[in-house]
Amino acid sequence: MIIGCSASQKLAASVADLLDDRLCPVETRKFPDGERYIRVKGEVDGEVTVVQSTGSPQDENLMELLFMMENLKDLGADYVRAVIPYFGYGRQERRFKSGEAVSARIVARLLEAAGADEIITVNLHENCLSEFFTVPVTELSAMPLIARHISFLDDPVIIAPDKGAMGHAREVSSILGCECDYMEKVRLSPETVETRVRDLDVEGMDAVVVDDIISTGGTIVNAAGILRNCGASSITVCCVHPVLVEDALLKIFSAGVERVIATDTLKSEVSEISVAPLIAEAIK
């Protein structure tokens, strides 16, 4: 049985469809004071998969997932699999400054305490997040789906907007059989990044910037400016998780990017690649 929580309803339905599984009706709403209400409207037993991304509003979506899992166990499920396509709070995986809460570890502990027997997720921001869990964690990569989706480009070159994204760029470029390169980025604050200009061999080529997350868009805006100066003939941007804070998309298009392509781990205007087949295959 598949359960879709409010942040991932369509994705849950697609996964259920691909697996020919039952999509259990649920009621999720808020009380007038803002507190969350959850009701499972079906018989619960055996193995249950809950699909819920924990992007914005992170606290509400996380709370809903925790309520759902605990409730399912209480209603008779003996195995609860949490599919968390976008793992919110995943960027605070350590204490960068003294006194900070290691939010990703706290979330992992909460998920287990609520009854998660297994976690399936897509492109974690930091691979070490899986070490915070004692239950099995499967991290799927959406890069092959992205590579297939952009295979129409004539002369692509894949660019990682920072060294950390180089693994993603390599994964895509090896599937497409093209070159890849990276940029050097320094993050000055959560909102500001500085990207050093390196000589990139992209003249007359279709540059494709590949990253795991687009949040404020600052990283991509910088990358696009450099690629234009280096003579790229077109700029496409692909990411797994379109967090897209406020006017991020507008900033990216204004910077001369032709296309922004993302997956549906989070709902957005550019979520054109579905990770449902990836998740369904992993559950199988």
- Could you list the residues that contact ligand R5P (CB under 6 A)? 161-162, 164-165, 193, 211-219
> Which residue from 92, 202, 218 is spatially nearest to 162, judged by alpha carbons?
218
- List, in order, residues 6 or more apart from 189 with CB less than 8 Å away: none
Between CA 67 and CA 38 the distance in angstroms is 7
Nearer to ligand R5P, 124 or 165 (CB): 165
CA distance 146 to 150: 6
> Which C-beta is closer to ligand R5P: that of 4 or that of 217?
217
Q: Which is nearer to ligand R5P, 49 or 236 (CB)?
A: 236
* CA atoms of 84 and 119, how far apart (whole Å): 7
Give how far Cα 217 sits from Cα of 190, 244, 247, Å: 11, 7, 8
> Which lies closer to ligand R5P via its Cβ, residue 64 or residue 93?
93
CB of 228 to ligand R5P, least distance (A): 18
Minimum distance between the CB of residue 13 and ligand R5P, rounded to whole angstroms?
29
The three-state (H, E, C) secondary structure of 16-44, written as one string: HHHHCCCECCEEEEECCCCCEEEEECCCC
In the complex, minimum distance from the CB of residue 179 to ligand R5P, in angstroms, rounded to a whole number? 20
CB nearer ligand R5P, residue 162 or residue 171 = 162
Q: Which of 185, 251, 267, 284 is catalytic?
A: 185
Question: What are the backbone dihedrals phi and psi of residue 134, each rounded to the nearest 5 degrees, phi first?
Answer: -100, -15
CB nearer to ligand R5P: pick between 64 and 171:
171
Query: Residue 214 Cβ, how far from ligand R5P at the closest point, in Å?
Result: 5
Phi/psi at 11 (5° precision): -60, -45
At closest approach, how far in Å is the CB of 243 from ligand R5P? Answer: 7
Catalytic residue list contains 267: no
Q: How far is the CB of 92 from ligand R5P (least distance, A)?
A: 12
Q: Tell me the catalytic residues.
A: 185
